Structure 1
């Protein structure tokens, strides 16, 4: 500090005060403000429990029975006898083909039968006449044998004529085309006036049985082998094939209300895809499931004895990868990549990446970073969990669901907003 000369006593006092204020402004010895406390998050402790082993697979709906109705005789289509898109019983007339040609053939066959029967009657009379005369040597044995041979030939001609009549009657019956099975009949593939050909088996329409229906899925052979290995090791309690339940998710994301069961597992592997076929049966009283429809199946393939399940709001999905925020024993947050199974209620089954006893953040993970210290509180009693189909605020939409998670439910696993 420099004190200018020639100042009076009051001036020197002001200069001294100013210098003291300047020294105090330099911060020498001043206290820093306290650091903010670690953010508060809600976390749960993962418990090992028996959880369903859910496998989610894409599939299609197929009719249990499907019949192509084709022409079995030649002729012109005279009339369509059914209403397209309706349910029909087996044997219901569907089309009528011009029967006049077949009627004429039947009449001709019947005339040939009458002629053969008349010839046989005459041959039998000759044999009956020769039989008493042969003992009296009035007729030679050769003549009698010839009469018997003629009678046998007449019998054969009658049988042949009767077969021709049956064939003509069958051809005439083909002019009325009937439903081979009960089910829903599709649209007509021909119109009145079209030529139906038996040689080319002209397709007329299709009948499909829609109650019940099949849901057909494909799964890789390696995944099914892993499933069998887990069952043999005791890690997975796997029921019999008919005891495996299947739920369906429709194309619009809604769940089909009826539960089905597996009834077939193919024992051959497709050499082009390396996959095997699984098939389930579903009741379809409302005809909501239609052949060819795309669906996703949630197959409950047994129960994992020491499985792990976390709330859906704790899972973050991004770039086909699922992660959760784990709190260490020292309160430090770490991001953990996990492999998801299926959804059970409002939670995800975790196949790998988590162990019982670890703490997973369910609320407040948006405001923390890996490596940061946090304060943990238990979930509040009566807190409403995030529901499927209602992603919470602040969750990032999934770029792609991991294996086992369906595309329609990827965004449903977005974490709940921090309350």
Structure 2
């Protein structure tokens, strides 16, 4: 019994001689970056269709046989370039006949005026009655009216002759001709061809109703539209059109079927690269800056509950912030809700902590400043 007590006493003395074990645990280290407020020019994209502002349907204004076509399909023409000839013989004859009618009416008027002058001299001497003088005046007036009618007919005949030669009303590119030489054309025939000016192209797209009224609340429709946004076009292959444009029209009503509002932009097309009917992406850079909150993209986490970030307060307490995100801005992302400017969000070490725990945070300005050994 004595020996057993001695052994226990010796063991207790030995344990008492060991150094006291450390009971505190070092807090996990995380690297944080503060949410920031920046001035941002939003970029939005829409599917759009191109239309030519200078598209002209070339039609015949007089009837007759088509005797000449002066262009090739797809050819670029300048304003005033001859396009079609309608047989002018009928119109030349009409001009000649109208000129003869004018000459005849002028002769009749001259004679009636001379008769009236003689009558005015004779009535004073009592050689003619007042009724006879009245008749002379009536004849002269009728002759003058006939001359005016003949001159108007001559003007119309000359216009018809001019219309037998159809020229380009603007510079642009021609379609193919819808008629062949020898066919009879006229005002009821429909377009002979189409001329597309193409120096300026309209960019037509739709914005949804909610975005439209958001723009209304911001006063955008009341601003000069050219100062609202810069317009850039992108093609289906990812390439970008070199010339930029601007907005020039926002519709004033919502389409009931699509719940959208039509918007039109304008881009120059001096190169002729753009064609009507082409589909493009309209990329708008809003020139009116907005103040937004951003966090590094690396701070954004996703789980079954949604998108979130972990933030660390001044006491080192970790909390979860559920995020509503906007567009990416470089290596950052816009936060619509969830964090405010100045909140420290974890960009590295998030796997070491959970919401409700404490952590040792180290502030870094960028991910490149995070040490390799974490």
Contact (CA 8 Å) 2:51, 2:276: kept in 1 or not?
yes
Contact (CA 8 Å) 2:122, 2:128: kept in 1 or not?
yes
Q: CA 1:316–1:245 in 2, change beyond 3 Å: closer, same or farther? A: farther
Structure 1 gaps, min length 5: 1-39, 318-322, 383-419
The residue that corresponds to 2:8 in the other structure is none
Matches of 2:31 and 2:241, distance apart in 1: 34
The residue that corresponds to 1:213 in the other structure is 201
SS in 1 for 2:54: strand
Superposed CA offset, 1:279-336 (max 9, x none): 222222322222221112222232221233655x88899xxxxx86734549999896
Write the mapping of 1:272-287 to structure 2, written as runs, cut at 5 A: 272-287=257-272
How many matched pairs? 327
Please state if 1:269 is matched with 2:233. Answer: no
Matches of 1:334 and 1:222, distance apart in 2: 30
Please state if 1:251 is matched with 2:236. Answer: yes
Q: CA 1:54–1:103 in 2, change beyond 3 Å: closer, same or farther? A: same
Give the counterpart of 1:74 among 60, 63, 72: 63
Matches of 1:153 and 1:51, distance apart in 2: 79
Give the counterpart of 1:289 among 274, 278, 281: 274
The residue that corresponds to 2:3 in the other structure is none
Matches of 1:286 and 1:196, distance apart in 2: 34
Q: CA 1:202–1:309 in 2, change beyond 3 Å: closer, same or farther? A: farther
Matches of 1:43 and 1:189, distance apart in 2: 70
Superposed CA offset, 1:36-69 (max 9, x none): xxxx999865422122222222211222222111
Q: CA 1:248–1:44 in 2, change beyond 3 Å: closer, same or farther? A: farther
Matches of 2:176 and 2:122, distance apart in 1: 72
Matches of 1:132 and 1:380, distance apart in 2: 114
Contact (CA 8 Å) 2:35, 2:295: kept in 1 or not?
yes
The residue that corresponds to 2:78 in the other structure is 89
Matches of 1:81 and 1:315, distance apart in 2: 66
**Whose RCO is larger (CA < 8 A, sep 6+)?**
2
Please state if 1:241 is matched with 2:234. Answer: no
SS in 1 for 2:368: coil
Give the counterpart of 1:189 among 175, 178, 181: 178
Please state if 1:177 is matched with 2:166. Answer: yes
SS in 2 for 1:56: strand
Q: CA 1:82–1:118 in 2, change beyond 3 Å: closer, same or farther? A: same
> Displacement, 1:217?
1.9
Matches of 1:253 and 1:207, distance apart in 2: 30
The residue that corresponds to 2:245 in the other structure is 260
Structure 2 gaps, min length 5: 1-28
Superposed CA offset, 1:187-215 (max 9, x none): 222222222121x2520112222222221
Superposed CA offset, 1:148-207 (max 9, x none): 111111111111011001111111111111112232332222222222121x25201122
Write the mapping of 1:54-133 to structure 2, written as runs, cut at 5 A: 54-133=43-122
Give TM-score, length-normalised by structure 2. Answer: 0.74
> Displacement, 1:381?
5.8
Superposed CA offset, 1:352-404 (max 9, x none): 56654364769x99xx8x9899999952269xxxxxxxxxxxxxxxxxxxxxx
Write the mapping of 1:390-409 to structure 2, written as runs, cut at 5 A: none
Q: CA 1:247–1:123 in 2, change beyond 3 Å: closer, same or farther? A: same
Contact (CA 8 Å) 1:215, 1:280: kept in 2 or not?
yes
Contact (CA 8 Å) 1:325, 1:333: kept in 2 or not?
no
Give the counterpart of 2:283 among 275, 279, 298: 298
Matches of 1:310 and 1:288, distance apart in 2: 40
SS in 2 for 1:307: strand
The residue that corresponds to 1:142 in the other structure is 131
Runs of 4+ in structure 1 displaced over 6 angstroms? 40-43, 313-317, 330-337, 370-377
Matches of 2:260 and 2:157, distance apart in 1: 50
> Displacement, 1:128?
2.4
Contact (CA 8 Å) 1:72, 1:201: kept in 2 or not?
no
Q: CA 1:43–1:192 in 2, change beyond 3 Å: closer, same or farther? A: farther
SS in 1 for 2:247: strand
